[in-house]
């Protein structure tokens, strides 16, 4: 707990920790109370020093709420977009503090009170303006932090291929693994030609009981800096109507293979004091998913495994991240037998993952999906959550498989 607190508070200067605490208080306590509990007649909101009352005040409260929620998240994660917006909002308060006493008291008294109230917020505006670098703390390039070689499973398509391209762009030599050797060979040639990196192609079926161990053996001569445990698939349909063999293969590919590979490469990374383990989980893991029951359960396994390893390996120089995409435009839906629906690009998923690596144990892709996944899990009764998920999966599952 102490270590966690030291980590969390150490990400920003003390005065910014105070702002974070204030934003959190406004987001979770004060503004909800103001909005839902305070009578309309008693409500007042200030914007640029002009007071709004009654329904006009109530109507603008969600904007205040959104601003403080963004501030809480922005200070918590020290997001780059906080500059210049934190400073702009502080300037709005400073202006309000100067204007309101002038309008309210008038004359010299108003001007003096305005100047006194303006000064601390003006100072805060300047401090936030000058804190630009704190919101974009420079990091050593990933290649330097981890080593030369990266192993990407499921590299023949979708998110895995995007990981391979992004890592090669960072200068990693890449081991590409999946079953379709022709695709891996093509990608390897592209990476060598366009990025000038070394590659190795290891075609392997991770559904085979010894698949992951054979893959680990095939790279045991390399000092792996990054392992992307990404290969995986889904299988849509009613549990009792699904092929048992396919479900067992899914657990092998989605759960056992990442476990075995992480177990085989983590000791070397720990001994070298650097490296990264990335697990492709899913937002599907955030609730039970009728008609995708085994898939959601398999991704919950990966999520919990990866987050636990994040804690175990903290301080060892090895970063661990579970990336949790929502629907992504890959071959996944076709393989799973789902009705087609739109999603994110795999490149976006990978960019978010690489940005989050080393900063947090897991990352959801897209704030709305993240909110849906996390709020539902924390607030709704399990029965309601599961039935709501079923409504969604029913739309995505062909009638004959329901």
Ligand X SMILES: NC(=O)c1ccc[n+]([C@@H]2O[C@H](COP(=O)([O-])OP(=O)(O)OC[C@H]3O[C@@H](n4cnc5c(N)ncnc54)[C@H](OP(=O)(O)O)[C@@H]3O)[C@@H](O)[C@H]2O)c1
- The alpha helices in 10-150, defined as continuous H runs, are 14-25, 31-36, 54-77, 82-104, 107-130, 142-146
Distance of CA 7 to the CA centre of its chain: 19
Among 101, 147, 160, 373, binds ligand X (CB under 6 A): 160
CA distance 9 to 2: 10
Judged by CB under 6 A, the stretch of 105-113, 141-149, 231-239, 354-362 that binds ligand X is 231-239
Check residue 205 for interaction with ligand X (CB under 6 A). Answer: yes
Nearer to ligand X, 96 or 258 (CB): 258
Given 68, 89, 286, 299, the catalytic residue = 299
CB of 330 to ligand X, least distance (A): 3
Check residue 246 for interaction with ligand X (CB under 6 A). Answer: no
Check residue 180 for interaction with ligand X (CB under 6 A). Answer: yes
Q: How many residues sit in the footprint of ligand X (CB under 6 A)?
A: 28
* Per-residue interface string for the shown chain with ligand X, residues 342-381, x marking contact by CB under 6 A: -x--------------------------------------
Given 68, 89, 286, 295, the catalytic residue = 295
Among 49, 74, 147, 154, binds ligand X (CB under 6 A): 154
Strands 44-47 and 50-53: antiparallel
Check residue 253 for interaction with ligand X (CB under 6 A). Answer: yes
- Residues near 232 by beta carbon (within 8 Å), at least 6 away in sequence: 154, 250, 253, 254, 280, 298, 299
CA distance 73 to 370: 13
With both helix axes pointing from N to C terminus, report the angle between 367-379 and 382-396 in degrees, rounded to the nearest 10. 140
CB of 332 to ligand X, least distance (A): 3
Supply φ then ψ for residue 131, to 5 degrees: -90, 20
Check residue 157 for interaction with ligand X (CB under 6 A). Answer: yes
In the residue annotation, 89 being an active-site residue is answered as: no
Among 156, 173, 294, 362, binds ligand X (CB under 6 A): 156
Tokens standing for 146? 């981890």
Of 97, 89, 159, 153, residue with least CA distance to 125: 89
Cα distances from 318 to residues 78, 198, 213, 226, 231, in angstroms, run 22, 23, 21, 9, 21
CA distance 358 to 353: 10
DSSP 30: I
Nearer to ligand X, 280 or 362 (CB): 280
In the residue annotation, 30 being an active-site residue is answered as: no
CA distance 353 to 276: 12
Among 87, 230, 393, 397, binds ligand X (CB under 6 A): 230
CB of 263 to ligand X, least distance (A): 18
Check residue 232 for interaction with ligand X (CB under 6 A). Answer: yes
CA distance 363 to 286: 12
Coil, strand or helix: which one is 154? coil
Nearer to ligand X, 11 or 179 (CB): 179
Judged by CB under 6 A, the stretch of 78-86, 199-207, 309-317, 386-394 that binds ligand X is 199-207
Judged by CB under 6 A, the stretch of 31-39, 150-158, 217-225, 307-315 that binds ligand X is 150-158
Tokens standing for 373? 């996944």
Nearer to ligand X, 175 or 178 (CB): 178
* Per-residue interface string for the shown chain with ligand X, residues 307-346, x marking contact by CB under 6 A: ------------------x-xx-xxx--x-------x---
CB 237 within 8 A of CB 291: yes
Among 185, 233, 270, 376, binds ligand X (CB under 6 A): 233
Among 57, 95, 188, 207, binds ligand X (CB under 6 A): 207
DSSP 339: P
Check residue 178 for interaction with ligand X (CB under 6 A). Answer: yes
Q: Which residues bind ligand X (CB under 6 A)?
A: 154-160, 178-180, 205-207, 230-233, 253, 280, 282, 325, 327-328, 330-332, 335, 343
Question: What amino acid positions are annotated as catalytic residues?
Answer: 295, 299
């Amino acid at each position: 707990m102490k270590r966690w607190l030291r980590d969390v508070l150490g990400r920003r200067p003390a005065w910014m920790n105070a702002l974070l605490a204030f934003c959190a208080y406004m987001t979770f306590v004060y503004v909800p109370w103001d909005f839902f509990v305070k009578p309309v007649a008693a409500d007042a909101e200030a914007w640029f020093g002009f007071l709004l009352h009654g329904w006009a005040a109530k109507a603008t409260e969600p904007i205040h709420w959104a601003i403080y929620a963004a501030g809480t998240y922005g200070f918590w994660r020290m997001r780059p977009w906080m500059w210049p917006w934190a400073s702009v909002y502080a300037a709005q308060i400073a202006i309000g503090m100067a204007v309101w006493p002038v309008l309210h008291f008038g004359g010299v008294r108003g001007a003096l009170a305005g100047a006194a109230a303006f000064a601390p917020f003006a100072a805060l505006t300047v401090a936030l303006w000058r804190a630009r670098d704190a919101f974009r703390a420079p990091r050593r390039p990933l290649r330097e932090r981890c080593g030369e070689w990266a192993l990407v499973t499921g590299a023949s398509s979708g998110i895995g291929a995007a990981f391979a391209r992004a890592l090669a762009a960072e200068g990693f030599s890449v081991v590409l693994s999946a079953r379709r050797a022709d695709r891996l060979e093509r990608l390897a040639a592209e990476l060598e030609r366009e990025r000038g990196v070394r590659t190795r192609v290891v075609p392997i079926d991770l559904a085979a009981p010894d698949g992951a161990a054979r893959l680990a053996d095939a790279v045991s001569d390399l000092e792996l800096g990054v392992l992307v445990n990404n290969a995986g698939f889904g299988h849509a349909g009613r549990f009792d109507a699904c092929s048992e063999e396919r479900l067992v293969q899914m657990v092998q590919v989605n759960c056992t293979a990442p476990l075995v590979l992480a177990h085989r490469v983590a000791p070397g990374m720990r001994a070298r004091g650097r490296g990264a383990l990335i697990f492709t989980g899913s937002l599907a893991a955030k609730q039970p998913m009728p008609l995708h029951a085994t898939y959601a359960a398999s991704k919950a396994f990966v999520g919990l495994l990866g987050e636990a390893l994040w804690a175990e390996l903290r301080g060892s120089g090895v970063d661990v991240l579970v990336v949790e995409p929502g629907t992504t435009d890959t071959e996944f839906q076709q393989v799973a037998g789902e009705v087609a629906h739109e999603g994110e690009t795999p490149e976006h998923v990978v960019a978010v993952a690489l940005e989050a690596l080393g900063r947090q144990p897991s990352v959801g892709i897209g704030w709305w999906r993240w909110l849906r996944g996390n709020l539902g899990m924390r607030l709704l009764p399990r029965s309601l959550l599961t039935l709501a998920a079923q409504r969604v999966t029913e739309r995505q599952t062909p009638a004959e498989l329901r």
